[in-house]
Structure formats: C-alpha cells, structure tokens
Structure 1
Amino acid sequence: MKVESFFSAAPHKSVSEDSVLLNEKLNVYGVFDGATPLHPFRDENGMNGAYLAANIFKDYFLKLYRSNLSLVEGIMVANRMLRDYMKKYNVNQEKSENLWSTCVAMIKIENNGKISFAQLGDCMIMAEYQNGMIKALTRDTVKDISKRAKEWREDQRKQGVKIADEEYFQDITQQLIFNRSLANKQDGYTVANGKEEVVNYIQHGQVNISEIKTLLMMTDGLFHPQFSIEESFKKILKSGINSYSNELGHFEKKNNLRQDDKAGIMIQFM
C-alpha cells in the first residue's frame, strides 16, 4: 500500500481550514474541510470555527477513535465533541450560521477484506478499480446548493410562506446565511455541524479491497474548474497528487481564480 498526501493553505490565508488524517495504526485516512464561518468567532489562539471543526475531527480520529466503532459511529462521536466545544465557547447553536462545521471524506481498511467509506458535503472519494473503471463513491451535496435554495424559497412562497424577495438574497451574506439553514435537510446539503440529524445524511458503504487499485480522498480545493471530477482524478493518477495540486494552483493564479485550501490523500494498493 502506497500513501501520498497533499496539504496547503490558500495564498490569502495564514492557516488552512482543511485537515488531513493519516492514522496508519488503525488504517483510517481522511480529509476534512471546515466551512468558513459567517460568525466572527476566534478562540484564544485566533482560530475560527472552520479550522476548529476540521481539526476536532482529525484529532478525534487520530488520538481517540477506537477501531471497534464504524466510521459512521466515529463521525457521530466527533460531531458531539464539536457540539460540546461550541457550547464551551458559548456559541449560539440555535442559529445555523453560527455553527462550526466541516465536510468529511474518510476510509477505513477493515480486517475482512473490505474498505469502509463515509462522506459529508463536498469532500469526495474517488476509486480506480482493478478493471480500469473510474468511479466516484460519493456525491457532492454542496454542488448547486444556491440554486436549490432559490427553488426552495420559490416553492415556499407559492405555499404562502412569507420569505424576503430574491433581491434580498442577491446579497452574498444573506444568501450564505440562508444556505446554512439547509444543512442536513432534504434537498439541502450535508455537513458535520454538531447537530444530531447529521446521522441521517452520512453517505457510507463498503467496497472489496481486492477490486480496488487506487482510492483518492479530496477537498473541493482540488476540483479543477475546467475538468470533471473523473477527469481530475485521471490527471492525479497520471502525475501524482502533489504535481497536480501545484499545477492547479498555477492555473488558478494565472487566470485570477479564487484559490481554496487544498488537501488530498491517494492510496494505491499494490
């Protein structure tokens, strides 16, 4: 088994809001992407809710997780830890825009010849099978969330619910606040944010290790604006995750595109 990882902060950030988990002892690997908060909270070290959420998850699975728990059970334990941390810092958890949150993509190599996986949000898990097939094991639930949110508001207005006109939601802050209210709801998006209902929205499953040649876990900072997720995966397979990430960063800079934190783990089974 060969493991290659990449981790970098966006140029405009002092620290990354992504985190990378490499737990070789328990064969648990993952990437976490903290959602940039809409609330100005900082802890005593100057860290925001996105950094804290991503690293609470990483630290739990690195230091406290027990292998007798499934990934889903582990995610729920880490999610409760996230809730308790917010309570410790007196975060008003009744307002969805205040919640610290993180997307998740994880795998666990089991002792029975299986690989378990679990996902939330727009972190993705890609697989290259031994027969050459390329497949996404997960679905990006954040994709088109603003479009779905608009459709949801329109539907509510037709039912007589009083919601501000769309002109109000042209303000990006108000749009983001509304989007956060759709976390872990039908037609919304999935994310670990301390709320118990996340258990109903974790994408999870298993694949046979004998069928898998390569697995990739990636945050959305590694999505290429010109290519599909499958095409990006093929490029990573060809050049390696480090070279691909550096090339993507140069492309984004050259074309004046917003650069995000980048994190990924590629595991090749020999």
Structure 2
Amino acid sequence: MKVESFFSACPNKVVSEDSIVLNEKINLYGVFDGATPLIPFKDENGRNGAYLASNLFKNYFLSLYKRNLSLVEGIVAANRMLKEYMEKYKVNQEKYENLWSTCAAIIKIEEDGKISYAQLGDCMIIAEYQNGTIKALTRDTVKDISYRAKAWREEQRKQGVTIPDEEYFQESTQQLIFNRSLANKENGYTVANGKKEVINFIQHGQVNISEIKTLLLITDGLFHPNFSIEETFKKIQAIGLQVYSMELEQYEKSNNLRSDDKTGIMIKLL
C-alpha cells in the first residue's frame, strides 16, 4: 500500500480548519473539514469551533487501536464527545448556528478483505476499480443546499408557516444560518455537530479490497470548478496531490475565486 497525503491552509487563514488522520496501526485514514462558525467563539488558545470540531475527530480516530470498532460507531462516539466539549464551553446548542461542526470522509482496511467507509457532508471518497472504472462511493450532501433550503421555505409558506420573504435570505449570513438549521434533516445536509440525529444520516458501506486499485479522500477545498469529481480524481492521480493543490490555488487566485483549506489522501493498493 502506498499512501500520499496533503494538508494546507488556504492563503487567508492562519490555521487550517481541515484535519487529517493517518492511523497506520489499524489502517484507518480520514479527512475532516470543520464548518466555519457563524459566531465569533474562540477558546483560550484562540481556536474556533471549526478547528476544534475537525481536530477532535482527528484525535479520536488517531487514538483508536482496536480494529473491531465500526466507522459508524466511531463517528457517533466522536460526535458525542463534540457535544460534551461544547457543553464544557457553555455553547447554546439549541441554536444550530452556534454548533461546532465538521464533515468527514474515513476509510478502514479490514482484516477480512473489505474496505469500510463512512462519510458526512461534502468530504468525498472516490475509488478506482481494478477494471479502470472511477466512481464516487459517497454523495456530496452540501451541494445545492441553498436551493433546497429555498424550496423548503416555499413549501412551509404554502402550509401557513410564517417565514421571512426571500429578500431576507439574500443576505449571506441569514442564508447560512437557515442552511445550518437543516443539518441532519431530510432534504438538508449531513454533518457531525453534536446532535444525536447524525447516526441516521451517515453514508457508509464496504467494498472488496480485491476490486479496488486506488482510493482518494478529499475535502471540498480540492474540488475544481471546471471538473467533475471523476475528472478531479484523474488529475490528482496524474500529477499528485501537492502539484494539483498548488495549480488549483493559482487558478482560484487568477480568477478571483474563493479558496478553501485543501486536504487529501490517495491510497494505492499495490
């Protein structure tokens, strides 16, 4: 097995809100993407909720040394720790916009010849099969969330629920606050945010190791605006995570596009 990884904060951040775990003891690998907070909380070390959430997940999965724990059980356990951590800092968890949260993409190579995977949000896992097929094992649930949120509001208004008109939600902060309220709900998006509902929305499964040639785990900072997820895989496979990340960052800068933290792991099964 050959493992290549890359981890980089975007140019306008001091520290990355992504995190990465390479737990070679139990062949567990993952990337996590903390959601930038909508409230200005900082802990005693100046770290925000996005950093704290993604790194709590990283540290939890890095500390595992037993193979028998499933990835779903791991996410639920880390999510419970996240809730307790927010309680320690007296975060009002009734308001979704206050919650510290992180997306996740994790794989574990099992001893029975299977590869387990689990995912939340817009972190993605893409596989190249032995026959050359490239296929995403996960679905990006953050994609088009604002469109789905608008449709949900329209439906609620039809049912007589009082919701501000759409002009109110054209203000980006209000739009983001509303989107966060759809975390781990039908037609919303998935994320670890300390709420127990996360268990119902974890995408997970297994593939046979004998069928897989390469696996790629990435945060959304490595998505290319002009490429499909499969094309992104091919580009990263051709030039490597670091060169791809540098080229993408240069493209974003040249085109005045928003840049994000960039984290990825490519695993080649030899």
Q: Same fold (TM over 0.5)?
A: yes
- Contact (CA 8 Å) 2:113, 2:208: kept in 1 or not? yes
Alignment partners' CA distance in 1, 2:175 and 2:115: 38
* Match of residue 37 from structure 2: 37
Q: Residue 166 of structure 2 aligns to a residue in which SS?
A: coil
- Which one-letter code corresponds to 1:20 in the other structure? I
Q: How does 1:45-60 map to 2 (within 5 A)?
A: 45-60=45-60
- Contact (CA 8 Å) 1:107, 1:117: kept in 2 or not? yes
Deviation of residue 148 (structure 1)?
Answer: 0.2
- Which one-letter code corresponds to 1:36 in the other structure? T
- Which one-letter code corresponds to 1:72 in the other structure? V
Deviation of residue 15 (structure 1)?
Answer: 0.2
The runs of 5 or more residues in structure 2 that have no matched partner are none
* Match of residue 195 from structure 2: 195
Deviation of residue 80 (structure 1)?
Answer: 0.4
- Which one-letter code corresponds to 2:166 in the other structure? E
* Match of residue 221 from structure 2: 221
Deviation of residue 95 (structure 1)?
Answer: 0.3
* Match of residue 95 from structure 1: 95
- Contact (CA 8 Å) 1:18, 1:263: kept in 2 or not? yes
Encode CA deviations 1:69-125: one digit per residue, 9 max, x unaligned.
100000000000000000000000000000000000000000000000000000000
Q: How does 1:58-97 map to 2 (within 5 A)?
A: 58-64=58-64, 66-97=66-97
Alignment partners' CA distance in 2, 1:246 and 1:4: 15
Deviation of residue 68 (structure 1)?
Answer: 1.6
Encode CA deviations 1:18-59: one digit per residue, 9 max, x unaligned.
000000011000000000000110000000000000000000
Q: Residue 167 of structure 1 aligns to a residue in which SS?
A: helix
* Match of residue 120 from structure 1: 120
* Match of residue 264 from structure 2: 264
Q: How does 1:18-33 map to 2 (within 5 A)?
A: 18-33=18-33
* Match of residue 249 from structure 1: 249
Deviation of residue 66 (structure 1)?
Answer: 3.3
Moved over 3 A (4+): none
Q: Residue 82 of structure 2 aligns to a residue in which SS?
A: helix
Q: How does 1:99-248 map to 2 (within 5 A)?
A: 99-248=99-248
Q: Which moved more, 1:65-74 or 1:49-58?
A: 65-74
Deviation of residue 64 (structure 1)?
Answer: 4.2
- Contact (CA 8 Å) 1:10, 1:261: kept in 2 or not? yes
- Contact (CA 8 Å) 2:123, 2:140: kept in 1 or not? yes
- Contact (CA 8 Å) 1:32, 1:57: kept in 2 or not? yes
- Which one-letter code corresponds to 2:30 in the other structure? G
Alignment partners' CA distance in 2, 1:169 and 1:128: 40
Encode CA deviations 1:239-268: one digit per residue, 9 max, x unaligned.
111111111111111111111000000000
Alignment partners' CA distance in 2, 1:83 and 1:170: 31
Alignment partners' CA distance in 2, 1:162 and 1:71: 40
- Contact (CA 8 Å) 2:25, 2:65: kept in 1 or not? no
- Contact (CA 8 Å) 1:65, 1:74: kept in 2 or not? no
Alignment partners' CA distance in 2, 1:106 and 1:177: 27
Alignment partners' CA distance in 2, 1:264 and 1:124: 10
TM-score by length of 1: 0.99
Deviation of residue 67 (structure 1)?
Answer: 2.1
- Contact (CA 8 Å) 2:128, 2:214: kept in 1 or not? yes
TM-score by length of 2: 0.99
- Contact (CA 8 Å) 1:126, 1:138: kept in 2 or not? yes
Alignment partners' CA distance in 1, 2:67 and 2:174: 42
The runs of 5 or more residues in structure 1 that have no matched partner are none
